[in-house]
Amino acid sequence: MPDLPPLSLYIHIPWCVQKCPYCDFNSHALKGEVPHIEYVQHLLNDLEQDLPLTSGREVRTIFIGGGTPSLLSSNAMQMLMDGVRARLPLAPDAEITMEANPGTVEADRFSGYQQAGINRISIGVQSFSPQKLERLGRIHGPEEAKRAAHLAAGLGLRSFNLDLMHGLPDQSLEEALDDLRQAIALNPPHLSWYQLTIEPNTLFGSRPPVLPDDDALWDIFEQGHQLLTAAGYQQYETSAYAKPGYRCEHNLNYWRFGDYLGIGCGAHGKLTQPDGRIVRTVKTRHPRGFMKGNYLDKQHDVADADKPFEFFMNRFRLLEAAPRADFRRYTGLDEAVIRPQIDAAIAAGYVLETEQHWQITEKGKLFLNSLLELFLAEE
């Protein structure tokens, strides 16, 4: 068997208490009760159908995202995790992350999730300002966010993450930095700190709020980055910071162009086959269709011409150097096919090359789109 990439598993829980105005994820406001056990049964059936694509590989990381996965009962979570372990070989030290909203993190429930095998929690804080939270349509307040972080710290989990946004409607530099200071004070091992972007097909997309201008955004990023660095966090991806030893292994596998199974409503998968094909899968988006047993929406093989762009689009989001050997390992292509593009990237000052590695430069980060365009397949 060829040297296949590491394998992860993504599980999508599609329900939320209410839809946030900036969210373009596949999430559905809850009408009535979550069909806990029924949905888990469908997830496990979906997983069974995908097993032939995994080549019997061990799963290194699991990420349960949404929607709001913490709406799932701890019994349903136990059933889900037992079902996954019965169907897939799981690495003994697998990182198993679950997203949670501060308002839905209940102490007794969370210890139930932990018993089911969850060892990392990602808490969607977004801001510590009551006004900003309300504007973002969040259903929790700052105190609930702090309580959730203290709870996560006290459970003795392997790690926890706080999700924080900046560049919020009418946000000043001081307000953005104040959010960061409050997050740092809670001492999370990992912080995701990303800029609010207005997406089409969202409430903000149809009625855009006033956001800080580019100069203000740059000041927020620069001073926030300094705050985080001074507090001992290392930036390892465009919007991810971690204390040493606490990077999110699941996300690292995405950015390194690793493989992942995607199960649940609207989940995406990428699976390299022993014959070198890379298969991409997309699951049925709406819970109605998914829960009728129609799991697979689309499946296609990635064309060789598209592999370089897909590889570098992921890889160059990471600040670490990219081993040149990974290009062949993860795409099945010879480095010669991208030699002209790499030479152009080096000449433009976007990338540095050594015998072993490619390293994106500061200029490359600033002009990431121009760098990636070099690798686009010619129509």
Domains detected in the chain: 7-253 (3.20.20.70), 326-379 (no CATH)
Residue 167 and residue 52 in contact, taking contact as beta carbons nearer than 8 Å: no
Q: How far apart are CA 238 and CA 192, in angstroms?
A: 9
104 pLDDT above the threshold of 80: no
Q: How far apart are CA 258 and CA 252, in angstroms?
A: 8
79 pLDDT above the threshold of 90: yes
Residue pLDDT, tens place only, 344-368: 999 999 999 999 999 999 999 999 9
Q: How far apart are CA 138 and CA 136, in angstroms?
A: 6
Q: How far apart are CA 116 and CA 74, in angstroms?
A: 8
pLDDT value at residue 330: 94
Q: What is the mean pLDDT of the chain?
A: 95
Q: Which of 59, 77, 60 is nearest to 68 (CA)?
A: 77
Q: Tally Cβ neighbours within 10 Å of residue 64.
A: 27
Residue pLDDT, tens place only, 63-78: 999 998 988 999 999 9
34 pLDDT above the threshold of 90: no
Q: Is 231 exposed, middle or buried, given 0-12, 13-18 or 19+ CB atoms closer than 10 A?
A: middle
Q: Which residues contact 48 (CB under 8 A, 6 or more apart)?
A: 87
Q: Is 31 exposed, middle or buried, given 0-12, 13-18 or 19+ CB atoms closer than 10 A?
A: exposed
Per-residue pLDDT, averaged over 126-147, amounts to 94
Q: Which of 64, 155, 163, 158 is nearest to 110 (CA)?
A: 155
Q: How far apart are CA 237 and CA 319, in angstroms?
A: 6
Q: Which of 138, 116, 1 is nearest to 68 (CA)?
A: 138
Q: Which of 130, 196, 122, 129 is nearest to 163 (CA)?
A: 122
pLDDT class of 185 with cuts at 50, 70, 90: very high
Residue 40: CA atoms inside 13 Å, Cβ hemisphere, count?
18
Dig out the tokens for 332 from the structure: 């099945």
Helix 324-331 vs helix 307-315: angle between axes, to the nearest 10 degrees?
130
Residue pLDDT, tens place only, 283-340: 999 999 999 999 999 999 999 999 999 999 999 999 999 999 999 999 999 999 999 9
Dig out the tokens for 141 from the structure: 């307040």
pLDDT value at residue 3: 82
Question: pTM of the predicted model, to two decimals?
Answer: 0.96
Residue 169 and residue 213 in contact, taking contact as beta carbons nearer than 8 Å: no
Dig out the tokens for 265 from the structure: 């409503």
Q: Do you know the residue count of the chain?
A: 379
Per-residue pLDDT, averaged over 247-265, amounts to 98
Q: How far apart are CA 121 and CA 109, in angstroms?
A: 13
Query: What Cα–Cα distance (Å) separates residue 102 from each residue in 70, 127, 145?
Result: 9, 11, 5
